């Protein structure tokens, strides 16, 4: 199963179980932001997906600026609501070149969007020589497992 198929399955399961409903705020990987979901697949579309794996047409959502647009089902992720978190620090020194600082910022952006794409809430705190990402999830074990598996090997993900 490829990544899009996995994301489709995750989203369709969440729609079927009522975990994502019209009006919910969800993360949209197309918009790269939290959005308001305006429509969800119908019961018949969910039933057809279970039988044939046919994905419904794109769903409408509203961006923070009020614009209404569409995205494929695979783009929507339920946002975790827990308050358990772990921090991941990306930093540099005062002697770091501008090019290296840009690479560190790009790494932090990637890690933030990677986390959000898996449903984790992310708080980003920027200082003069660092970016701190606080990754929130529904349990401490869940957050620790995600951070340990992904972030401590971010060089592998980054390259």
Q: What is the pLDDT of residues 36-88, one digit of tens each?
A: 999 999 999 999 988 998 888 899 999 999 999 999 998 999 999 999 999 98
- pTM summary value: 0.80
143 CA to centre of own chain: 14
Six-digit token pair at 95?
Answer: 């002697």
For 56, phi and psi rounded to 5 degrees?
-60, 165
According to DSSP, the residues that pair with 33 across neighbouring strands are 28
Sequence-separated (6 or more) residues with CB below 8 Å from residue 151 = 88, 111, 135
CA dihedral (14, 15, 19, 21) positive or negative: positive
Task: Give the pLDDT confidence of 97-141 residue by residue, as tens digits.
Answer: 999 999 989 989 988 998 998 999 999 999 989 999 999 999 999
Six-digit token pair at 25?
Answer: 């705020």
């Amino acid at each position: 199963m490829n990544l899009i198929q996995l994301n489709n399955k995750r989203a369709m399961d969440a729609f079927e179980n009522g975990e994502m409903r019209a009006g919910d705020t969800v993360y949209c990987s197309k918009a790269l932001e939290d959005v308001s979901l305006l429509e969800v697949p119908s019961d018949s579309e969910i039933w057809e997906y279970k039988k044939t794996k046919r994905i419904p047409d794109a769903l409408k959502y509203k961006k923070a600026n009020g614009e209404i647009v569409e995205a494929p089902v695979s783009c929507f992720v339920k946002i975790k609501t827990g308050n358990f978190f772990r921090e991941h620090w990306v930093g540099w020194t005062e002697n770091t070149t501008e090019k290296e600082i840009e690479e560190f910022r790009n790494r932090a952006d990637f890690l933030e969007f990677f986390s959000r794409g898996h449903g984790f809430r992310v708080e980003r705190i920027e200082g003069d020589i660092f970016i701190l990402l606080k990754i929130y999830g529904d349990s401490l074990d869940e957050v620790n497992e995600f951070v340990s598996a992904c972030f401590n090997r971010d060089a592998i993900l980054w390259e």
